[in-house]
Structure 1
Amino acid sequence: MTLKQIFGKLHLWLGLASGLVVLIVAGTGILLVFEDELDEWANHDFYFVKVPQHARRVTVDSMLHAAAAYNPKLKIVRIYAETQAPDRSVVFYAKMSKTQPWHIAVNPYTGKVIKGLNYNKRFFGVVLNLHRHLCMNETGKAITGASCLIFAFMVISGIVLWWPKRWHILKQRTRIAWKSKWKRLNWDLHAVGGFYVHLVLFVISVTGLTWSYQWMNNAIYMVFDGKPMKKTEAPANTVIQPVAAGFYESLYQQTNNRLPYKGRVTMLLPEKDSLSITVNKLNHEASVYNIADVLYFEKGTGRILKETMFKNASTGAKVRRMVYPIHTGKLYGWPTQILALIAAIVAFSLPITGLLIYLVGRKKRKAKAVKKPVRVTVPQEESVEA
């Protein structure tokens, strides 16, 4: 058996084994490419507010108090506030338990809660759960992780099978015969369509491994920094004192003064009073998506204890930061999102066209076996000497 035949067998059986999962992950991926845009369009009143004349924002502390009063069972753990975007609501991320996160939107001009949403019960919450865990928690995570590994191999083996033996066949292997019969068209959609986006699909599948396997995260740091990933933890408070009125507003103002670019400020409220408060700001003015700088504030005093600027981060940390925008297509905005959308649509079609290729081939093999005459050898009678 040749190497290409071995790849063909593996491509076939691994494809059949993982096809359903790939179908689900790719199908949900199609929706998630423009998740933010679609979510904000569908829930406009949640994310946007009407800006009154001579408007003045209430303090972050007042909004935090309103969000906390929305449901006393919820614990606020993060605050999201867009700077230089006066028509945006301030969103508070809260948890009732590890599996029940909530988003609470507050009007920054009235200080009143607009609405609270159970994050997992949102449309895109369900879609994301399917995409990452198949709605099966850790079991689903293991299945999608294994399928992601298989899919990365499928892309490689697919190129091996696509590769023409002779260069004059290259033209046929690089165009889809739209006017041909459905069997040929189906093969072209699978093989040729897969060829044109194979690099994008390979990158998406490999980056997707970072959410399933810690060794993949460590590999990024080992390749670029020469050492494993180190867990980042907020520094400890040197002075512990009660939080005064206007404390979180002061953190918000300090962050925008220290980092004056347009972006989204995220405050992470620690579970322990002994840890400082982490505030990061996503830079919307950067050339690529997901560039963020981090400040650590002492709880109570509001003094900056430490700052971590993206430009000073290690190469491994920078590459790891780029994994999310590369995986989702957000790296350069709409152009790369459209590219990721096309790749996701092709990925969704591959299990379907691949299954049809297999069924057609199996039907041919059965028909050939029926038509092939069976040779029957009749033994001659042995002569018996008298």
Structure 2
Amino acid sequence: MKKIIGWLHLWLGISSGLIVLIVALSGSLLVFEDELEHLFQPSFYYVQVPPQAERISTDILADKVQQAYPGFKSNYIIVEPEANRTVLFSQRKGKAGKGNGKVMLIAVNPYTGQIIKAVDEKGRFFAVVLRLHRYLCMGDTGKIITGISCSIFTILIITGLILWWPKRNNRKQRFRVKWNASFKRLNWDLHAIFGFYINIFLLMISLTGLAWSYKWVNNLLFYALDGNIKSTKMKAPESLPVKDTHIAYLDKILSTTNEKLTHPGTIMIRFGENDSLAVTVSKVNTTASVSNVVDFMYFQKGTGELVQERPYAKESKGMKARRLFFPIHTGSIYGWPTKILALICAWVAASLPITGLMIWLGRKKKPSLKKHVNARVQYQ
């Protein structure tokens, strides 16, 4: 049985190795996406707060952005709780969700109304890395390839643990890397022992990753925890907009949201694909013990009237579990400690196809006993 498992582990690893390498390396970059973005582009995310300054109305800022980009529709607005943060506006032209539209991300100074900078959202470095991570920058075809590779990688993690499992007489050798050994032995230790120590973490990352590739994974989660199958996508309720109300409805939305949800956190105002849908507002709860705890509220466009509330506390068990998939997958669930762990796991995962290939090549080059004897006789 172990020979069969070894054969399966070998050929599945060879067939998916390159994809695993790409996905793991791109994933390692995405672990600290926010921190790196803010480090290398501070002027895009931060402003100097003038003394005794008052923030300009969000509705006025939105009008300035709309005038600067005619022909674009509002996609979403991000308002951070810190006083020194820019307000980010996403403006789209065409059907951006279908991949054939244009989306601009615009940073605005909330105290002066100045448009600091606008970037093509799809062309941002981390946006490209994310597409590489999820789809290999190949759209639906890439999604199929990464989904299959993620499934294979899950099998490799399980079969790798079986192959690593030590016999009684050599348990110590399976827990320690012999750094002064030959290159061949050291390479094997790096592959097997490092793989063992992060085995459970890689399994969690790969299993949660399957949720973005296969709908049945999400359905299975909801069926197991809620007893029924739901869509994991939360849809905004219908609410026809009211035009020309002359009401600062975005400010009203923000005020109502902060009154209802008193915890600190980032607020995102997202506009529907069509005007028949309510405006969706989400607020992250940064005081929660884990990340990605988000409350949702829905408002009528034009008036800012509250249409519906969707607090995190009233979500189903299935939805709460599904919300954990992203922070588990990215390592953000408990902040910096788990992010560092996720980064290490991504680097080790990227090394496994390389060390595994070298193990296989080493075995292929190993001379047979018959050739060794013939060579020795000939030498004598």
Give the TM interval when normalised to the shorter protein.
over 0.9
- Tell me, yes or no, if the aligned pair for 2:264 and 2:286 is still in contact at 8 Å: yes
1:95 equivalent in structure 2: 92
- Amino acid corresponding to residue 248 of structure 1 in structure 2: L
- Amino acid corresponding to residue 223 of structure 1 in structure 2: A
- Amino acid corresponding to residue 54 of structure 1 in structure 2: Q
Q: What SS class does the counterpart of residue 87 from structure 1 fall into?
A: coil
In the TM superposition, residue 93 of structure 1 has moved relative to its aligned partner by: 1.8
In the TM superposition, residue 152 of structure 1 has moved relative to its aligned partner by: 0.5
Structure 2 stretches of 5 or more lacking a match?
375-380
Q: What SS class does the counterpart of residue 363 from structure 2 fall into?
A: helix
In the TM superposition, residue 125 of structure 1 has moved relative to its aligned partner by: 1.5
Q: 1:243 to 1:266 in 2, by over 3 A?
A: farther
Deviates more, 1:16-25 or 1:92-101: 92-101
Q: Distance in 1 between matches of 2:294 and 2:5?
A: 42
In the TM superposition, residue 66 of structure 1 has moved relative to its aligned partner by: 2.0
Q: 1:61 to 1:369 in 2, by over 3 A?
A: farther
Structure 1 stretches of 5 or more lacking a match?
374-386
In the TM superposition, residue 240 of structure 1 has moved relative to its aligned partner by: 4.1
Which one of 107, 121, 124 corresponds to residue 123 of structure 2? 121
Q: 1:232 to 1:128 in 2, by over 3 A?
A: closer
Q: Please list the CA deviations of residues 43-88 of structure 1 after superposition, one character each: whole Å capped at 9, or x if unmatched.
A: 11001111111111011111112222332243221111012x0011
Percent identity over the alignment is 46
Task: Find out whether 1:244 has 2:246 as its counterpart.
Answer: yes
1:299 equivalent in structure 2: 301
- Tell me, yes or no, if the aligned pair for 1:267 and 1:279 is still in contact at 8 Å: yes
Task: Find out whether 1:42 has 2:40 as its counterpart.
Answer: yes
- Amino acid corresponding to residue 160 of structure 1 in structure 2: I
- Tell me, yes or no, if the aligned pair for 2:240 and 2:301 is still in contact at 8 Å: no
Q: Please list the CA deviations of residues 128-159 of structure 1 after superposition, one character each: whole Å capped at 9, or x if unmatched.
A: 11111111111111111110000000000000
> Alpha carbon RMSD of aligned pairs, Å?
1.7
Q: Please list the CA deviations of residues 152-191 of structure 1 after superposition, one character each: whole Å capped at 9, or x if unmatched.
A: 0000000010011x22311110111111111111000000
Equivalences for 1:70-89 in 2 at 5 Å?
A: 70-83=68-81, 85-89=82-86
TM-score (norm 2): 0.93
Which one of 294, 314, 328 corresponds to residue 312 of structure 1? 314
In the TM superposition, residue 120 of structure 1 has moved relative to its aligned partner by: 2.2
Q: Distance in 1 between matches of 2:156 and 2:245?
A: 55
- Tell me, yes or no, if the aligned pair for 1:240 and 1:274 is still in contact at 8 Å: no
- Amino acid corresponding to residue 192 of structure 1 in structure 2: I
Q: Please list the CA deviations of residues 88-126 of structure 1 after superposition, one character each: whole Å capped at 9, or x if unmatched.
A: 101112223423332111111111211111122211112
Q: 1:358 to 1:296 in 2, by over 3 A?
A: same
Q: Please list the CA deviations of residues 15-44 of structure 1 after superposition, one character each: whole Å capped at 9, or x if unmatched.
A: 001000011000111111111101111111
Larger radius of gyration: 1
Instruction: Tell me how many residue pairs correspond in the alignment.
Output: 369
Q: What SS class does the counterpart of residue 219 from structure 1 fall into?
A: helix
Q: Distance in 2 between matches of 1:25 and 1:155?
A: 15
Q: What SS class does the counterpart of residue 180 from structure 1 fall into?
A: coil
Runs of 4+ in 1 over 3 A off after TM superposition: 238-243, 366-369
1:157 equivalent in structure 2: 159
Q: Distance in 1 between matches of 2:369 and 2:127?
A: 50
TM-score (norm 1): 0.92
Q: Distance in 2 between matches of 1:369 and 1:151?
A: 37
Q: Distance in 2 between matches of 1:159 and 1:181?
A: 23
Q: Distance in 2 between matches of 1:162 and 1:209?
A: 25
Q: Distance in 1 between matches of 2:203 and 2:373?
A: 42
In the TM superposition, residue 369 of structure 1 has moved relative to its aligned partner by: 5.5
